[in-house]
Amino acid sequence: MSHPGRVIVERGNSPLLVLTPHAGRQIPQDFIRPRGGEAMQGDIADPAGETVRTVARSLNASLIGGPYHPCVIDLNVDADDPDLTPHFNRLRVCPSHTADGEALYDDDVGYERAVHARVAQYWRPFHDAVTHELCRLHSMHSRVLVFVTHAGQWLHYPDKRAHLADFTFSTHLGRSADIRLVEALTANVERGGYSWVLNPGDAGGVAAQRYGSPGKRVHVIQVEIGARWRTGCTFDSSLRPAVVTEDGQEGLASILANMLNTLGSRLVEIDR
């Protein structure tokens, strides 16, 4: 399956699939107002995304991400949520304003057109690629672990940015991953002296809901970084978080590597 320029796919042979739906940086100028696009071009919404990709390559993991900034298309929300009206579905998958209230489109017609185009061109190919890769990995392994880094709270709840824990883990309220994996992960984080929270109500994402099924041996754990891993946590931020304070980028890479190694070891134990 190939979607050149729409989905970034790197295939590995371990039972680990890493998704980075919010790590994209590109802003297509034909989709977004030029002044908004210029302001956000190259910005990092999810600092963990690029870091975990580097770590995961060393573990022979499969990687799937998107090239575009999540202000353009949010790949980790449900574009077809039956519990929401079409209007609210559009607002979640493609924000119409920046976090500080600046309009990203000149009119409603342009916004509606952009949303339909982006869902078809980027959202659906991303999730098609995830489904295809899960099937491939499941044909090779009895269990598969999906590790998702995202920035859902950072993007959608700017008033909470200054209060995020170091790590926020989401498992669709316990339904997307075996509890033994979660316990191993949180114990690993605690040993490092980091703060963490599990399954707050506003921290979920569609990856855990859509793909997590421990009974079918697919486990999905999502993580969002905050607190010491970010600077510039202002309430009127224009989606421009900087990366890392005293721990440094190497510190983030180290703890993400520990997370993946811990989860990989526990996945093998569960499979025995």
Instruction: Please state the three-class secondary structure of 66-130 as a single string.
Output: CCECCCCCCCCCCCCCCCCCHHHHHHHHCCCECCCCCECCCCHHHHHHHHHHHHHHHHHHHHHHH
What was the pLDDT predicted at 243?
Answer: 39
CATH code for the domain in which residue 177 is found: 3.40.630.40
Share of the chain above pLDDT 90, in %: 42
Tell me the C-alpha distance between 180 and 19, whole Å.
21
What was the pLDDT predicted at 236?
Answer: 33
**Tens digits of per-residue pLDDT, 4-37?**
568 999 999 999 999 999 998 888 776 555 445 4
Alpha carbon separation from 89 to 21, 84, 94, 171, 172 (Å, rounded): 17, 6, 8, 22, 19
Selection from 52, 218, 210 nearest residue 134 by Cα: 218
Alpha carbon separation from 31 to 27, 238, 261 (Å, rounded): 8, 18, 39
Place of tokens 């977004």: 32
What was the pLDDT predicted at 199?
Answer: 94
Could you tell me the residue range of the domain that residue 26 belongs to?
8-271
- Residue 160 placed within a domain: yes
- Residue 3 placed within a domain: no
Handedness of CA 123, 150, 244, 185 (dihedral sign): negative
pTM of the model: 0.86
Selection from 238, 219, 239, 203 nearest residue 16 by Cα: 219
Q: What angle do CA 21, 48, 151 make, to 5 degrees?
A: 50
Least reliable range by pLDDT among 45-54, 124-133, 189-198, 232-241? 232-241
What was the pLDDT predicted at 227?
Answer: 60
- Residue 210 placed within a domain: yes
**What total of structural domains would you count in the chain?**
1
Alpha carbon separation from 97 to 49, 111, 170 (Å, rounded): 23, 10, 26
Count how many residues are written for the chain. 272
- Residue 186 placed within a domain: yes
Selection from 56, 41, 171, 72 nearest residue 64 by Cα: 56
**Tens digits of per-residue pLDDT, 210-232?**
999 999 999 999 999 886 666 43
**Tens digits of per-residue pLDDT, 65-95?**
999 888 888 999 888 776 656 666 566 788 7
Whether 38 has a pLDDT exceeding 60, the answer reads no
Q: Give residue 125's pLDDT band: very low, low, confident or very high (50, 70, 90).
A: very high
48-75 average pLDDT score: 90
- Residue 1 placed within a domain: no
Q: What angle do CA 97, 98, 104 make, to 5 degrees?
A: 50
Residue type, 171: T
DSSP alpha helices (H): ranges in the chain?
34-40, 47-57, 86-93, 108-118, 124-140, 152-156, 179-191, 206-211, 248-271
Distance, C-alpha 7 to centroid of its chain: 14
- Residue 221 placed within a domain: yes
Whether 100 has a pLDDT exceeding 70, the answer reads no
